């Protein structure tokens, strides 16, 4: 529609934050029992969320200019595989043979879908 990626990124983060705040109030209410005791770690946590959120939303906006939204959504099927691979690398979790089969099937589906998307 002609909007800048920065504007879309800012509005989605702002509206998402307000919605999350409303849901948190509805589910938990306002309590004073969860006070921050380590401000450095809290600040780093918030800075990490803002940095990653800003980077990822901006990247998402740029990717949408090149690829179709359907293809981008379809790539969401690969997220569990990254979680399993990171668990294998960092937590020494076991990966079963069904994981390999599922990875091959999803990768093949992504390849076929992308070939059709190019046409």
Residue 51, CA atoms < 13 Å, CB-side half-sphere: 6
Q: What is the b/e burial string over 54-70, where b = at least 16 CB atoms within 10 angstroms of the residue's CB?
A: eeebeeebeeeeeeeee
pLDDT at 119: 67
pLDDT in tens, the chain (119 residues): 677 777 877 788 889 889 988 888 888 777 766 666 788 888 888 898 888 877 877 787 788 888 877 778 777 777 888 888 899 999 988 888 888 898 888 888 888 877 876 66
Alpha carbon distance 52, 47 (integer Å): 8
Supply the DSSP string of the chain, one letter for each residue. ----HHHHHHHHHHHHHHHHHHHHHHHH---SSS--S-HHHHHHHHHHHHHHHHHHHHHHHHHHHHS-HHHHHHGGGGHHHHHHHHHHHHH-----HHHHHHHHHHHHHHHHHHHHHH-
| Reduced DSSP (H G I as helix, E B as strand, rest coil) percent helix, strand, coil of the chain, to 5 | 80, 0, 20
pLDDT at 89: 92
pLDDT digits (tens, 9 = 90+) for 90-99: 998 888 888 8
């Amino acid at each position: 529609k002609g909007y800048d990626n920065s504007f879309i990124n800012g509005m989605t983060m702002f509206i998402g934050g307000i919605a999350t705040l409303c849901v948190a109030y509805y589910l938990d209410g306002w309590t004073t029992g969860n006070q921050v005791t380590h401000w450095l770690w809290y600040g780093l946590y918030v800075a990490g969320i803002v940095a990653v959120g800003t980077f990822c939303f901006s990247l998402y906006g740029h990717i949408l200019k090149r690829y179709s939204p359907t293809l981008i959504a379809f790539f969401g099927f690969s997220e569990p595989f990254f979680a399993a691979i990171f668990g294998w690398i960092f937590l020494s979790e076991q990966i079963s043979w069904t994981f390999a089969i599922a990875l091959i099937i999803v990768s093949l589906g992504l390849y076929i879908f992308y070939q059709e998307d190019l046409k």
